[in-house]
Amino acid sequence: MKAVKYCFLLIINIFFIQSVFAVNGAVNGNTVPMKNIGYGTYYVSVKLADMVDSQFMVDTGSGYVAINEESLEKLKLENQVEYLRDIQGKLANGKSYVLPIWRLSSLTLNERCTLKDIEVAVFPGNTRQLLGLSALKKAAPLEISFDPPQLVLSRCDAVL
């Protein structure tokens, strides 16, 4: 019975990966260069709601785009975010936090691809900001290349 359960989970994961990421084929779309800062860490330039420019670490292990409180305050002043709910989150270091989830009006990747109505988690202080799956899934299917380092996004709400 365990073998059947694991086989079923494997099949579901394969379908999920194929629906989000390009598998065995090129994606036609908008190319967004990534900057490799070493240690397998890649960043892209992100503009939050046409006002807050920052470098975001590409993190496919994060379910949400993560912004810091500093960015949230700027966005709130311009009415570019809407509070949705709180979630219980567990970070990679094992610590649990209650994180507020906000809807961001738009997010633009490297001035090439705009995505609208993105759910973002807000972390305390001036922490590193992450480009997670709540944005990447909206642009899927997508391709991540490491040579050259770039994202190729199929669906953008607007291309600048």
* pLDDT tens digits along 80-115: 999 999 999 777 788 888 999 999 999 999 888 999
Query: Is 159 among the domain residues?
Result: no
Average pLDDT, the chain: 83
Structural domain total, the chain:
1
Tens-place pLDDT, residues 110-154? 888 999 999 999 998 888 999 999 999 999 999 999 999 999 999
Model confidence, pTM: 0.78
Residue 158 belongs to a domain: no
pLDDT exceeds cutoff 70 at 160: no
Give residue 118's domain range. Answer: 2-153
Residue 160 lies in a domain: no
The verdict on residue 60 lying in a domain is yes
- Percent of the chain, pLDDT > 70? 81
Q: What are phi and psi of 88, to 5 degrees?
A: -90, 120
Query: Which letter, b or e, does each residue of 116-128 get, where b requires 16 or more Cβ atoms within 10 Å of its Cβ?
Result: eebbbbbbeeeee
Task: Assign residue 49 a region (left: φ > 0; alpha: ψ between -120 and 50; beta: otherwise).
Answer: left
> What mean pLDDT is predicted for residues 36-61?
92
Of residues 153, 155, 151, the one with CA closest to residue 34:
151
pLDDT of residue 19 exceeding 90, the answer is: no
User: In this structure, what CATH number is given to the domain that contains residue 93?
Assistant: 2.40.70.10
Domain assignment of residue 50, yes or no: yes
Q: What is the largest CA-CA distance in the chain?
A: 55
Give the H/E segment covering residue 47: strand 41-48
Element (H, E) at 22: none
